[in-house]
Homo-oligomer: A and B are copies of this chain.
């Protein structure tokens, strides 16, 4: 870590990505202090090569000489000696994700995202954990001292798997859902007339964070010397029923927006600010609360994202990617507000940083099991990420979160052991599935696993040929 900060090696696993990778490339256009080569590894080498072209064109145009992109088909070569590793993969394809999200609908279970908890999230975990076992083993073999940034969902489960396989790994999970809620707090300040639009940015706020990924909670928030909780109380009361329509978007025009009604309702229940999109939050609660059926979700002003939309979006991006490679005009550089680059620079000694990340619980989350991946604030400095000791959560809320923590611990254990019987027990414990009969739940489980877990993963599945 004392090496040449202008000559770093990065390995991007899932380097053919057309979402995170593009955001990252555009951010890099502005980075002058550090430099190096980014090796793009992907099972879809075509996509990796397209990104190589796009990345290098962006650098040429906006930040010449700073970063080079190289598609690399050998994970060994891509990883060896890396200073930093990014993981941003899609486990399986959208065909599998369609099963995750839509198969349960036949059983009366509706999911708004389906990638974290619930039948979709748990099934996705079963096919993702084996991939992360492989990645962890590769990092252990070829880049044991690298810092590893995971962006893949289910975040907690993926990050946990890395540590399960290689306990000394220096990995953490990054997610921008908390940032969205911080932005909402800024909008709240503007609504109150305390600030002008754009006067305050996220880094001007201080928030204390405790929870798990996509079910994270802000337990204290301030701007300058002002406690934001009394303000949020008023805000939640004002928009609890009618929903909050942000200036720049409208929940029924975007699968990712919402009227924030779930967030306001959870504040009323527990007195804390839930810090993720409503569509994520809803999935951690009993179905009867926000996800009884599509109309009910609509009443709460958030969307059930259909996988068909994801497939359509993929096609569109593929098209763009081909065009860039063919010489079409590349997109303009822009800063995303993502913290990846700031985190990397802090780890290189170029500016300490406190932000929220996903890490195994050493001690930062009182009364949560050691080792489980939790999301809290941490202090980043040269070659070090130290979580802050959070205040945890009040009893009733901790109880709600804790059952997911244990489910995540167990689904990792079950997946590593390729033990579907154990996995089914987790399935039965998920709040979305609690209302289902044991036999119906069994049918759903068999259907989902049979359709999405390829034999190569090594799960025994006597029902596959039924």
Contact = CB atoms under 8 A, between A and B. Distances in A.
Interface of A: 1-2, 5, 206, 208, 220, 222-227, 265, 269-270, 286, 288-289, 348-350, 352, 354, 362-364, 366-367, 369, 377, 379, 381-384, 386-391, 395-396, 398-400, 402-403, 406-407, 409-410, 413, 422, 425-426, 428-429, 431, 434-438
Contact of A366 (B363, B388, B391, B407): B363
Where chain A touches its partner, the secondary structure class is mixed
Given A225-B1, A377-B379, A382-B225, A406 B395 contact: yes
Contacts of A383: 220, 222, 227
B422 A410 contact: no
Contact of A387 (B288, B369, B388, B402): B388
Nearest to A288: B435
B396 A350 contact: no
B379 A354 contact: yes
A438 B262 CA distance: 13
A262 B382 CA distance: 28
Contact of A434 (B206, B227, B434): B434
B395 A388 contact: no
A269 B1 contact: no
B363 A224 contact: no
Nearest 3 A/B pairs, CB to CB: A363-B363, A225-B349, A222-B382
Contacts of A366: 362-363
Contacts of A409: 395
A140 to B, nearest CB: 19
A58 to B, nearest CB: 26
A422 B369 CA distance: 24
Given A206-B382, A227-B382, A386-B390, 10 more contacts: A5-B225, A220-B382, A225-B348, A363-B366, A363-B389, A386-B391, A388-B388, A395-B413, A398-B406, A402-B402
A288 B382 contact: no
A379 to B, nearest CB: 5
Nearest to A413: B395
A422 B350 CA distance: 34
